[in-house]
Amino acid sequence: MSLKLIRNFSIIAHVDHGKSTLADRLLEFTGAVTDREKKDQLLDTLEIEREKGITIKMQAVRMYYKAKNGNTYKLHLIDTPGHVDFSYEVSRALAACEGALLLVDASQGIEAQTVANFWKAVEQDLVIIPVINKIDLPSAEPDRVIKQIEEILGLPPEEVILASAKEGIGIEDILEAIIHRIPPPAGDPQKPLKALIFDSYYDSYRGAVAFVRLFEGKVKAGDKIKLFSTGKEYEVTEVGAQTPKMTKFDSLSAGDVGYISASIKNVRDIRIGDTITSAVFPASEPVPGFRPVKPMVFAGIYPAEDTTYEELREALEKYSINDSAIVYEPESSPALGMGFRVGFLGLLHMEIVRERLEREYGVKIINTAPNVIYRVKRKHKEEVFEVRNPSEFPDNPGLIEKVQEPYILVTVITPAEYVGNIMQLCQEKRGEQKKFYYLDEKTVLLEYEMPLSEVVIDFHDKIKTLSKGYASYDYEFSEYKDSDLVKLHILINKKPVDALSFIVHRQKAYRRARLIVEKLKETIPRQLFEVHIQAAIGGKVIASERIKPLRANVTAKCYGGDITRKKKLLEKQKEGKKRMKKFGNVQLPQEAFLSVLSVE
């Protein structure tokens, strides 16, 4: 098929603006999925899942569209991850396209993620087709949204398509706009292979599979290929595309989007943003823009309850086959025993990992407070070292010459009525205002530069609460900046509990210390001994609380020799103690460790 009849595009949208519904409609309209197939396909997937224990998600779907001009076009719809933690992945998916549908909810209007993704698409020189979705809803305000699109994004009103993916309105207009407005891909099939990896997954049948966009050249089964970043070579076992089933094709050539499998054992070898080329006639340059995965947030993950270290290790190993974005290494904590320090793309990523480990791999875990990577320079030492774990941070503030922490640029879009709340929040989070302007009379865009560590804790929840769920935000890394940071120790009966210590800005240390000792006082049950909780910087205690020893806990009577009941009660009490982490004479419940996470 001539390159002229190919179109590659993505849908960019804020969460819940109807991206997957629109994708479904496009598939149905082009006949890629019939109603019958929808059922069959579902069954197929379930069967494969059952047999091989894998889930196939749609990464890049190929469909054929017979346009009004009589030509049949090959369309590739490339999926983009929906969260700010995955912004690099989004940029690579966009790099595989020539155009993008910018989907905006007719009632919600433009949100932070819409703007962020719009700029990412513009950076890639994509043609953007604005689509206003959900126009059938009574609350729809298409005129307001058209105005927003014009004023904020600078797109002409006449280019906007009104649609309702749910009701099937505007679907054909969208498809016609795709073939007319988005240019066909360029590229020469005769040149050496140059394929951009924008996604990957693991399939126990094919091994690690790469989703690619071919910019130059051709690839087929049997070809020898090479990965640019590692230089590793493989032999291609299969090429194909999702239609939306995984369908084998003879070859892929320049302009195409599809998958390549080559008996690659580990998804870690398929790095998103990397370029696949021929091992025999390699391209001279890779597709620009590759960077290795860089975790932004680290937390300790430890086995809890009945889970053992070995079980946790196994679960992490299995999980990481399918998620190349996490990194982990063993660590041990005097308080929590053996566990792992795990790096995540962001807080949401951390939550996903945590939840999937517990749900899909059946382990119970405790995680310590997440932290970012700090750069520390000690006095009289040349090198700057990176701190991923509060325990590596110098205890004595006197030894530190300078500390840096990562800053981000946060964009917030909020209804005007909540702007005061949000500015206050951003200030509390040590943010510095960079932009403030009205998108329209009801909506404000704010931009702040602030430390990533402040966003890591509870920014998401706070912003949602303060705006009744209406404000949205997005962020990107800006730079490392000097910061007056100290390590706050939490001591229980005078001994520091490493898993409770964290790094905090000096100005906030007193407040945090107070809140944390109070929270710990609430969560630690009274015990046989007095519990003395202290928060300290270096050797200086800045907050403390005492939990008085338990006074009464007795079962008075074993009536008529009914021992069983009494035994069950004590058994339960014993099991409760077992689940706690023993620290000297003090038993710390899991909630104590979690409470540190929830304190701002």
> Which residues contact other proteins (rule: CB under 8 A)?
526-528, 548, 550-564, 566-567, 569-571, 573-574, 576-578, 585
Q: Give just the sign of the alpha carbon dihedral 297, 300, 301, 305.
A: negative
Q: At what angle do helices 419-428 and 452-466 cross, to 10 degrees?
A: 160
CA atoms within 13 A on the CB side of 171: 19
Name 356's Cβ contacts closer than 8 Å, sequence gap at least 6: 319
Which residues does residue 333 pair with via DSSP β-bridges, in sequence order? 337
Judged by beta carbon, residue 540 or residue 557, the one nearer other proteins is 557
Closer residue to other proteins in complex, CB, 43/558: 558
Q: By C-alpha distance, which of 15, 148, 5 is closest to 80?
A: 15
187, 96 in Cβ contact below 8 A?
no
Give all strands (DSSP E) within 217-347, no chain letters: 218-220, 224-227, 233-235, 238-242, 246-249, 251-253, 257-264, 275-278, 297-303, 327-333, 337-344
Min dist CB 526 to other proteins, Å, is 7
3-state secondary structure of 176: helix
Q: Which is nearer to other proteins, 232 or 567 (CB)?
A: 567
Nearer to other proteins (CB atom), residue 125 or residue 562 = 562
Return the number of the residue (248 or 567) whose C-beta is nearest other proteins: 567
* Nearest distance in Å: CB 549, other proteins: 9
Looking at residue 37, its amino acid is E
Where does residue 134 fall: left (phi above 0), alpha (psi -120 to 50 degrees), or beta otherwise?
A: left
Least distance CB 489 / other proteins (angstroms): 23
* Cα 340 off chain centre by: 19
Distances from the Cα of 271 to the Cα of 80, 209, 422, 503, 570, angstroms: 16, 11, 37, 32, 53
Task: Specify the residue, 359 or 551, whose C-beta has the smaller distance to other proteins.
Answer: 551
The minimum distance between CB 569 and other proteins, in angstroms, equals 7
Q: How far is the CB of 21 from other proteins (least distance, A)?
A: 47
Asked whether 265 and 207 are in contact (CB, 8 A), the reply is yes
How near is the Cβ of 324 to other proteins at its closest, in Å?
41
- List alpha helices for 327-451, DSSP H: 347-361, 419-428
Alpha helix (H) residue ranges in 170-308: 171-181
Nearer to other proteins, 156 or 576 (CB): 576
Minimal distance, residue 310 CB to other proteins, in Å: 20
From residue 543, alpha-carbon distances to 127, 204, 491, 507 in Å are 57, 53, 10, 14
Q: Is the CB of 138 or the CB of 563 nearer to other proteins? A: 563
Helices 19-29 and 171-181 cross at an angle (nearest 10°) of 80
Q: At what angle do helices 506-523 and 590-598 cross, to 10 degrees?
A: 150
User: Whole-number minimum distance, CB 530 to other proteins, in Å?
Assistant: 12
Nearer to other proteins, 468 or 567 (CB): 567
The residue among 247 and 585 lying less far from other proteins, judged by its C-beta, is: 585
Locate 84 and state its tokens: 């700010």
Residue (186 or 528) nearer to other proteins, CB:
528
CB of 22 to other proteins, least distance (A): 51
Instruction: State in angstroms the smallest separation of the CB of 587 from other proteins.
Output: 9
Token pair for 158:
């006449």
- Residue 543 CB, shortest distance to other proteins, in Å, is 24
